[in-house]
């Protein structure tokens, strides 16, 4: 009996109070503790995903942001039917994912960085041919999709080579092809560009964009490369310690979570000696720039006043006022420095 709720469903992905808790056994170091743990196991509850809720409409490309261990991958695995949740509900294309109905699995795909989908000892095309049978893809559709994928991912020279002879970037492209040959309506992409060089990252991003444009597929993408998210997603969901911190437009994220401006000041030679920067704002480390430039984090409402003070008191050679880069915003959110 299918659990499909039928065509009245408008959301592609609907998640409600979804949770996944793990019991992890715990013990301190040392021999005494090791022996003790033989008799009595102490466990700790890890809330990998803690009552998150969100809805994604068909065709949306949503970014799932969070540091390692935040719960993004666990959420994706639940939505793809790999994991049973501890509590809560979810529906993807109207199906309950962990029921693992064949009709559901035929419509989705989950691409993980270290995915082992391809037959290692065979040419990539062989995996695609097996997938054709597994997913029951009609011959003409298969040919058509294959041609499109070859074009978009530049696969022509790769498909006949044994997978184990491919480079990481080449293998990733073939994995993507194998993951998409059945034209899924929902794509779960878990760190799709991890470990790839910059050119390849850009290529994968434009491919995802194009696939979404051509097929109207819904994409839920996790990454800790901001470039992935800024390139593809207008909407982001931020998750940390298993909890949903933010769900909304990417641009608004910076405005809401980081009401700061970055004031960058370059002084004339020799003018920097003895300057106490803390009078003006918080010195920022980690932004790019050579040593002669100083970056200050200044609250938005004070930006004008601080700028005026800097210009009047110091011999300023160059000054700019900008929004903080989105990475810095996210970073501070994860380190708990910004209240939500």
| Residues lying near other proteins in the complex (CB under 8 A) | 22, 77, 80-84, 100, 102-103, 105-106, 109-110, 112, 114-117, 119-122, 126-127, 129-136
| For other proteins, the closer CB: 131 or 222 | 131
Q: Which is nearer to other proteins, 42 or 100 (CB)?
A: 100
Report, in Å, the least distance between residue 112 CB and other proteins.
6
**Tokens 């199906």 label which residue?**
95
CB of 182 to other proteins, least distance (A): 9
Q: How far is CA 220 from CA 105, 108, 152, 328, in A?
A: 16, 11, 20, 23
**Identity of the residue, 26 or 279, whose beta carbon is nearer to other proteins in the bound complex:** 26
> Between 99 and 315, whose beta carbon lies closer to other proteins?
99
| Distance, CA of 287 to CA of 326 (rounded, Å) | 12
- Rounded to a whole number of angstroms, the minimum distance from the CB of residue 243 to other proteins is 20
Cα separation, 246 vs 240, whole angstroms = 10
Q: How far is the CB of 18 from other proteins (least distance, A)?
A: 15
- The nearer residue to other proteins, 130 or 311, going by C-beta atoms, is 130
What one-character-per-residue DSSP string does 272-309 give?
TTT--GGGTSEEP-S----TTEEEEEEEGGGHHHHHHH
Residue 327 φ then ψ, to 5° = -60, -45
Element (H, E) at 206: helix 198-215
Least distance in angstroms from the C-beta of 123 to other proteins: 9
Whole-angstrom Cα distance, residue 44 to residue 224? 27
């Amino acid at each position: 009996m299918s659990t499909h709720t039928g065509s009245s469903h408008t959301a592609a992905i609907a998640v409600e109070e979804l949770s996944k808790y793990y019991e992890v056994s715990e013990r301190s170091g040392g021999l005494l503790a090791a022996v003790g743990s033989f008799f009595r196991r102490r466990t700790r509850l890890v809330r990998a995903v803690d009552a998150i809720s969100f809805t994604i409409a068909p065709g949306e490309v949503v970014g799932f942001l969070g540091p390692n261990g935040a719960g993004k991958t666990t959420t994706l695995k639940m939505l793809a039917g790999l994991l049973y949740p501890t509590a809560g509900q979810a529906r993807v294309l109207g199906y309950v994912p962990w029921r693992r109905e064949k009709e559901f699995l035929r419509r989705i795909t989950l691409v993980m960085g270290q995915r082992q989908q391809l037959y290692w000892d065979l040419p990539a095309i062989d995996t695609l041919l097996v997938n054709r049978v597994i997913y029951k893809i009609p011959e003409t559709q298969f040919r058509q999709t294959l041609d499109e994928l070859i074009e978009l991912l530049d696969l022509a020279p790769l498909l006949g080579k044994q997978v184990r002879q491919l480079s990481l970037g080449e293998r990733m492209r073939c994995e993507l092809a194998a993951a998409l040959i059945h034209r899924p309506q929902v794509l779960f992409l878990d760190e799709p560009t991890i470990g790839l060089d910059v050119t390849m990252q850009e290529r994968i991003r434009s491919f995802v964009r194009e696939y979404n444009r051509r097929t109207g597929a819904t994409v839920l993408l996790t990454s800790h490369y901001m470039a992935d998210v800024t390139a593809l997603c207008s909407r982001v969901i931020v998750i940390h310690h298993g909890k949903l911190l933010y769900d909304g437009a990417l641009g608004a994220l910076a405005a809401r979570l980081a009401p700061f401006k970055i004031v960058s000041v370059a002084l004339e030679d020799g003018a920097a000696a003895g300057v106490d920067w803390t009078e003006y704002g918080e010195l920022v480390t980690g932004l790019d720039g050579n040593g002669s430039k100083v970056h200050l984090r200044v609250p938005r409402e004070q930006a004008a006043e601080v700028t005026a003070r800097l210009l009047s008191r110091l011999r300023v050679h160059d000054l700019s006022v900008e929004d903080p880069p989105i990475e810095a915003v996210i970073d501070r959110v994860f380190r708990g420095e910004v209240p939500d």
